[in-house]
Structures are given as C-alpha cells and as structure tokens.
Amino acid sequence: MSFINTQKNIRLKLLSLYYKANAGHIACSLSCIDLLIALFEIKKINERVILSKGHAAGALYTILNHTTEINDETLDTFYKNGTKLSAHPSANSFTNIPFALGSLGHGFPIGCGIAYANKLQKNDDLVFILMSDGETNEGTTWEAAHFATSKKLDNLIVLIDKNNLQGFGYTKDVLGDSADFYKWESLGFDVVEEDGHSVEKLILNIKNFSTKKNGKPKLIIANTIKGKGVSFMENKLEWHYLPMNTEIYHKAIQSIEENYYA
C-alpha cells in the first residue's frame, strides 16, 4: 500500500495550517509527519502516541484532523484566542492529546508510566513516544531510558525523529550525537535505524517490534530531513522558526506537488 497521497495531502494541510496561523515550527513538523502517519495508521484505539516533541503540535493536529478527531472548524482555530489548539499541545480536550507537552523531556517518563500501568493491568496495549533528537539532550531521557530497560518495558516503542538539527545548531556540534544507535543499543534497547520518511517501512518495523515480547523496550531511530517535502526548507535551521508569507506559501505548495506525485 502506498501512502504517497496521504503524505502529500497531510503536508498540504499542514502548510495551510501554519500559513493561516502565520506561525513557525514548520520544518520540525514536516520531519516527523511521516512517523505520525505510520503511528496513527497502526495504533489500536486505546493505545497512545505521546508527542514529546510538542513543538510539532501542528503535525499532530493535522493527523488528528485526518483521523476526524479534530474537525476542520476546530483546526481553523489554531493559534487564535480561545482555541484548544495552542502552539504546543494543551491538555484535557482530545483523547489522543492526553498530556500537555512541549517542555522537552517530559513525554518519555510519562510514556514509561503508561507502559508500566499497561503491564499492571495485564493488557497488550503499546505506548508510542515520539521524541526529537535534540530532545535527547535532556537528562530525563536517560533517567527514563534506564527505567524502561530495568523495568523491562517491552510494550514501549520510542521513535526519535533524527533530523540532525536542534534549536541553535547541528546536534553533532551542540552536545554530540545523543541519539546514536550504539548508545541506545548498549542501554538495552532493541534498536532499528531506518528512513523516517518511508511510512511503509516504519509500519513494518513497528509491527515487528509489537510482537517482540523479549523484555526490551524498542527504539526506532528515524533518519529524517528537517522540512522534508518542501525543497527549499530542507535541512535549514531557520525553518524551525520562520512563518511563511503568501509568496513563500505558494512556492512551498508547488514544492510539495513536485515532490509527491503518485
């Protein structure tokens, strides 16, 4: 099954969302949107995706619009006064936005708690945590990673959106590669590293992981491109922050049309 139309349409919706809001965080949403497509394609109704990189809220809202949990009217309130859709996810409005997230390093511990609870309740639900590679700088990442391995949370699947850029530089230049395959493997995670823009491969790997009850938490290091799909935004730090004017918005649409054709 090809997801190219979904990948394209959701990207167009995402651009429209950020354009109307005149807001930034476009490139970091584009880098993880294929991960979200795969996760919401595969997750069961009671399973939760914890978007720990809360600054990609626009991507989450667009996916939840795609799954019909957020209707168009509500989506249009993004960034406006009185909205339920703040720039980072807020709590207590939607089932699939279970926590307010956006201060980095919070989602992984919370996900560990949910995974531990699933074990206590003896259900087979998985927990998915989507983090950014910059986020792995946070100390809680390492607290939670050791918790997850020591408590044998094999129902936990962590995805790192590894786009190699963080707030003010390349991750390799800031604190080094804290999303390195061997670091995580030596901690006791089952790790795969793969193309984070191939929805098909992601689904396959998540399915493989979901049946692997071996006492080890799972990690997908998803190699992604910041701004993926809009050629002139790709691998550009400034598109973490910049909003689009009308001219740039139209160019961005055109770039998506060119890059995603079935």
CB neighbourhood size of 96 (10 A): 18
Return the residues of window 104-143 that contact other proteins according to CB under 8 A.
105-106, 108-121, 139-140, 143
What is the Cα–Cα distance from 135 to 184, expressed in whole angstroms? 14
């400034």: which residue's tokens?
A: 238
CB of 213 to other proteins, least distance (A): 16
Number of amino acids touching other proteins (CB under 8 A): 30
Shortest distance (Å) from residue 21 CB to other proteins? 23
List C-alpha distances in Å: 5 to 39, 200, 206, 226, 257.
17, 13, 21, 20, 10
- Label the pairing between strands 127-132 and 48-51: parallel
Shortest distance, position 85 Cβ to other proteins, whole Å? 16
* Contacting range for other proteins; rule: CB under 8 A; set: 2-10, 74-82, 97-105, 214-222: 97-105
- From its phi and psi, is residue 116 left (phi > 0), alpha (psi between -120 and 50) or beta? alpha
The answer to whether 31 and 161 are in contact (CB under 8 A) is yes
**Exactly one of 2, 68, 81, 150 binds other proteins (CB under 8 A); which one?**
150
Nearest distance in Å: CB 124, other proteins: 14
- Figure out which of the listed residues 100, 187, 237, 253 binds other proteins, where binding follows CB under 8 A: 100
State the distance between the two ends of the chain, measured CA to CA, in whole angstroms: 12
Question: Nearer to other proteins by C-beta: 86 or 235?
Answer: 86
User: Could you tell me the smallest distance in angstroms from the CB atom of residue 122 to other proteins?
Assistant: 11
Nearer to other proteins, 146 or 250 (CB): 146
Answer whether 172's CB lies under 8 Å from 164's CB: yes
Question: Which of 154, 66, 60, 155 has the alpha carbon at shortest distance from 102?
Answer: 60
For other proteins, the binding residues in 155-194 under the rule CB under 8 A are none
Stretch (H or E) spanning 253: helix 246-259
Give least dist CB 257 to other proteins, A.
39
- The residue from 61, 99, 184, 239 that contacts other proteins (CB under 8 A) is 99
Question: Would you tell me which residues interact with other proteins (CB under 8 A)?
Answer: 91-92, 98-100, 103, 105-106, 108-121, 139-140, 143-144, 146-147, 150-151
